[in-house]
Structure 1
Amino acid sequence: MRTLFLAAGVVILAGSAQARDAAECEAIHNTALSGGFVSSARVVEASDTLPAYCEIRATALPAISIEVRLPMENWNGKYYQAGCGGFCGILGRADAAAGWVNAMKPGLMRGYATATSDSGHHALSVVDAGWADSNPHAERDWGWRSIGETHRVAQVMIERFYGGGSEQAIFQGCSTGGRMAHVAALRYPEMFDGIISGAPAMDYPGLVATKASWMMQANTAPDGSQILKPGKEKLIGDSVMAACDGLDGAEDGLISDPRACPVDLAALQCQAGQSPDSCLTPDELGVLAKWRQGPVNKAGEQLYPGGIPAGSEPFWWLWLTGDGKGGGRLVNAFTTGFGAYMAFPEDPGASWSPTDFDFETDPARMGQAAAMYNGDDPDISAFREAGGKMIVWHGWADAIVTPFKTVEWYEKAAEVAGGEDTLKENVALFMVPGLDHCGILPGPGGISQASLDPMTPLEAWLNEGVRPESIRAAE
């Protein structure tokens, strides 16, 4: 049977390598699609980095917008699906930027048929959560269903265009896309042969409601003003780096493991007559202590693993403190929208604020949301038994999606698997010093997502059995 399958695969691949013409692409517009419809099909000519492809726009009911890109020639017989970031809602947003994270381009450049979705709703930005207001169907599609539906629709298009299905499937995503990657391994364990999960926001209620509300409350004065304002990040970061840079034996501007970094900023406390720009007030030091600690309840129980990692200070303006010009502070926008429309069984609506979050009672109220959204279950045995391979990567300097959660997940997954050696047969974890969330902002030495390439080692793992040793991009 395997010989027959391989022989059939050769026939499919031989046919798929033939060039398609514009008429064949445009004809896909008429494809009958169960539970959905095709809205357009057109040829996009080759660019400097991408081959010519057939761009198909489709909808999986009720409202999952999907884009499929099929190479006009030299299809490699395989499929590549990309996740989306934040609350999603903007189809193909990642491919409009230069980076590869959550984008179809890494697959398309290598000859894969590719697809992505808006996760089931239209939004004005990735921090807009108003679409979820009293809309459980949209929340379900964002949580998990859009992953399977994107794959289903893409496979119909591939079959129609090439005359045969894909022989291998890869999923790639970061942040929310990383959450989707873990959800795919749990809910669709046989759907993807390879998965790339970056900075996975795998526990949205714990991260975006509990932890982010803690961060905001810690930095909010009784009068509602911001305590730690923009401008102190370098002062704090320089002090942290001076204390911890050399702990790994190399003074290179990187903190290899912030868990080993003792953060004591007492020496920065303002003294009489000192310029406030060169020191920290007691209130500011209090904010930092809570940020490092992470959320706890009155009994002192940790509600989410760890706090903000040492070494992430250069990126605080974007996520936590703002740039002083109205930009940044994206954590505030995410947690406000999530708490208002996505976290609780009954949406409190636009009047809700993260300052309303109750650390004694609210975590338990989000069980329904956790069941719908989360991908932090460490039991991926079904994915492992199906032979799936998974690369997980995370920046140690991620100030929004706590890297400590990813390490905790990996350690628990190793326990479930019966030991780390067994887990390593299917999962490779890479924690990257100095890297911002999804490598969005450049860090020390210019490290960013452009410094990484998890695709090449994943292909080698899937096709040659060579386990990844690094995800650094070739220079």
Structure 2
Amino acid sequence: MLHQSARAAVVGAVFTVSALAAFAFPAAAQEKTAEDCAALRDLVIDAGYVTSARVVPALEDTPAYCEVRARALPDISIEVRLPTADWNGKFYQTGCGGFCGVLGRADSQGGFINAMGPGLKRGYATATSDSGHHGLHVLDAGWAHDNPHAERDWGWRSIGETNRVAQAAIDAFYGGAPAQSYFQGCSTGGRMAHMATLRYPEMFSGVISGAPAMDYTGLVATKMAWITQANTDAAGEQILKPGKEALIGAEVMRQCDGADGAEDGLIADPRACSVDLKTMRCPDGGPGAECLSDAELGVVAAWRQGPRNAAGEQLYPGGIPEGSEPFWWLWLTGKEGGGGKLVPAFSSSFGAYMAFADDPGPEWTPLDFDFERDPPRLSTMASVYNADDPDIGAFRAAGGKLIVWHGWADAIVTPYKTVDWYDKAAAAAGGEATLRESARLFMIPGMDHCGLLPGPGGVNQFSIDPLTALERWVEDGVPPADLALAE
């Protein structure tokens, strides 16, 4: 069962079913030809150009579509997919993950996270971008080295440019604008979703934000450096190694499973349980295969606490939540034989090339981060990247609807930040009752970051359907009670 936040929002609509039905979609019902698609190669776009246009044949449950590749200057690669038949008259734009840089990567993963495919299958015209640069993989931030234009495009501008190019292609192909425009993203895509509500408040009828990494300088620079330093000894060796996360997770579940009144293998809210891992301490505090050394206990304690300075001030909300242990191998500890441990990699690349106004370069590591001196130095780039401003008044005034979802077992993008953002957004709106009319938060027990790995009972990204929930809210005036899969 999916649990929603106790402060989840309700009520509100922008368009009714009758209003949507009344909208005329010029030439939408007419099947488009390969010649219609090829003609888009000559589409004139200010500060941009089309690089290719071709028809991609239908495959299984994916309809045939006109694939348009374009470039928005200086260097944003964009892909637009236009159904050649049965366009539903709407537009679906997606974000990208990590540092992006790989156009359309999400559509090769088979899920809905940051992927155009789910929208295309429903008849949407869809689009995404590489966010303004080419990277070897989503952990590669070398493109940002002394490159403020690319940092700006990754930060916010690629959202608007992707939309601008896509709207031009839609108008040229179908002869009219879409009735609704939606945005969906998770992780960095979730940050982009929040950025869309702030920078482009009238652009989208509805926005879906999953596990939003909305504060990159706080999360990836400060918090991830804290995580890395806490798990590194004086000799530079990893303290909590692969394998111990299963022991820790079993003890956490033993102490916490019933805290919500049900022993179901899920921790409904990690804030409701206080775990004492001293029960796992090795007899002499030294190393042991089936227990935790004092050093290992210190790592977990620091991870749970989150980053603080010497004065004890919290530098980022919360820490690693209880219940996330099954996913630590991917994000925190790695796995035996290699692989995983992505948090130190993210932190290294971000700190070296993106976090500071003056890039320190490839020699920098998270061990170099100074929790007294460096947080104030992040402010310049925070203004470019971060989307955690809780005042979404302009988006609400435009009638937009926002669905935010986050797994309580997310070990990389802490759910506590999202809850903190929601509380502040309610205050900025003048109270939660007002915020409810436009924004809703769903916290999902047992779910990994963006639901990438299966959690207890198989909970993952395939367990939810936020797009149907958003469609019903915007188009039918039915606010979502949950994000359950559509029947």
What range describes the TM-score normalised by the shorter chain of this pair? Answer: over 0.9
> Amino acid of the residue matched to residue 259 of structure 1?
R
CA-to-aligned-CA distance 1:254-284 (integer Å, 9 cap, x gap): 0000111102100101015998110000000
Answer yes or no: is 1:97 the counterpart of 2:129. no
- Tell whether the 8 Å contact from 2:20 to 2:475 is kept in structure 1 after alignment: no
In structure 1, which of residues 61, 69, 80 is the aligned counterpart of residue 73 of structure 2?
Answer: 61
> Amino acid of the residue matched to residue 242 of structure 1?
R
> Amino acid of the residue matched to residue 370 of structure 2?
D
Partners of 2:23 and 2:402 in 1: CA distance: 29
Aligned to 2:281: 269
Q: CA 1:7–1:334 in 2, change beyond 3 Å: closer, same or farther?
A: closer
Partners of 1:52 and 1:332 in 2: CA distance: 41
Aligned to 2:236: 224
Partners of 2:130 and 2:286 in 1: CA distance: 51
Partners of 2:297 and 2:463 in 1: CA distance: 34
In structure 1, which of residues 370, 374, 378 is the aligned counterpart of residue 382 of structure 2?
Answer: 370
Query: How far did residue 39 of structure 1 move?
Result: 0.4
Equivalent residues in 2 for 1:21-60 (5 A)?
21-60=33-72
In structure 1, which of residues 417, 420, 424 is the aligned counterpart of residue 429 of structure 2?
Answer: 417
Q: CA 1:10–1:437 in 2, change beyond 3 Å: closer, same or farther?
A: same
Query: How far did residue 12 of structure 1 move?
Result: 3.8
In structure 1, which of residues 119, 130, 134 is the aligned counterpart of residue 142 of structure 2?
Answer: 130
Paired residue secondary structure (1:195): strand
In structure 1, which of residues 332, 336, 340 is the aligned counterpart of residue 352 of structure 2?
Answer: 340
- Tell whether the 8 Å contact from 2:287 to 2:293 is kept in structure 1 after alignment: no
What fraction of aligned residue pairs are identical, expressed as a percent? 67
Equivalent residues in 2 for 1:22-421 (5 A)?
22-271=34-283, 276-421=288-433
CA-to-aligned-CA distance 1:369-405 (integer Å, 9 cap, x gap): 1100011000000000000000000000000000000
> Amino acid of the residue matched to residue 325 of structure 1?
G
- Tell whether the 8 Å contact from 2:20 to 2:179 is kept in structure 1 after alignment: no
Aligned to 1:15: 27
- Segment of structure 1 superposing worse, 273-282 or 115-124: 273-282
- Tell whether the 8 Å contact from 1:68 to 1:113 is kept in structure 2 after alignment: yes
Q: CA 1:60–1:135 in 2, change beyond 3 Å: closer, same or farther?
A: same
CA-to-aligned-CA distance 1:208-267 (integer Å, 9 cap, x gap): 000000000000000000000000011000000011111111111100001111021001
> Amino acid of the residue matched to residue 329 of structure 1?
K
CA-to-aligned-CA distance 1:130-159 (integer Å, 9 cap, x gap): 000000000000000000000000000001
Superposition TM-score, scaled by structure 2 size: 0.95
Paired residue secondary structure (1:19): coil
Partners of 1:176 and 1:195 in 2: CA distance: 14
- Segment of structure 1 superposing worse, 434-443 or 413-422: 413-422
- Tell whether the 8 Å contact from 1:12 to 1:163 is kept in structure 2 after alignment: no
Paired residue secondary structure (1:276): coil
Q: CA 1:255–1:21 in 2, change beyond 3 Å: closer, same or farther?
A: same
Paired residue secondary structure (1:471): coil
Partners of 1:7 and 1:398 in 2: CA distance: 39
> Amino acid of the residue matched to residue 307 of structure 1?
G
In structure 2, which of residues 421, 428, 445 is the aligned counterpart of residue 433 of structure 1?
Answer: 445
Query: How far did residue 13 of structure 1 move?
Result: 1.6
> Amino acid of the residue matched to residue 413 of structure 2?
V
Say how many residue pairs are matched: 470
Partners of 2:163 and 2:303 in 1: CA distance: 39
CA-to-aligned-CA distance 1:403-430 (integer Å, 9 cap, x gap): 0000000000000111111101000100
Answer yes or no: is 1:467 the counterpart of 2:482. no
- Tell whether the 8 Å contact from 2:285 to 2:293 is kept in structure 1 after alignment: no
Partners of 1:187 and 1:145 in 2: CA distance: 9
CA-to-aligned-CA distance 1:274-325 (integer Å, 9 cap, x gap): 9811000000000010000000001100000000000000000000000122
- Tell whether the 8 Å contact from 1:9 to 1:167 is kept in structure 2 after alignment: no
Q: CA 1:158–1:299 in 2, change beyond 3 Å: closer, same or farther?
A: same
Paired residue secondary structure (1:16): coil
Partners of 1:272 and 1:223 in 2: CA distance: 22
Paired residue secondary structure (1:13): coil
Q: CA 1:304–1:173 in 2, change beyond 3 Å: closer, same or farther?
A: same
Paired residue secondary structure (2:363): coil
Aligned to 2:3: none
Partners of 2:87 and 2:459 in 1: CA distance: 32
Partners of 1:48 and 1:284 in 2: CA distance: 50
Higher RCO by CA contacts (8 Å cutoff, separation 6 or greater): 2
CA-to-aligned-CA distance 1:319-370 (integer Å, 9 cap, x gap): 0000122200100110000000000011000000100000011110011111
- Segment of structure 1 superposing worse, 109-118 or 11-20: 11-20
- Tell whether the 8 Å contact from 2:53 to 2:66 is kept in structure 1 after alignment: yes
Partners of 1:360 and 1:79 in 2: CA distance: 46
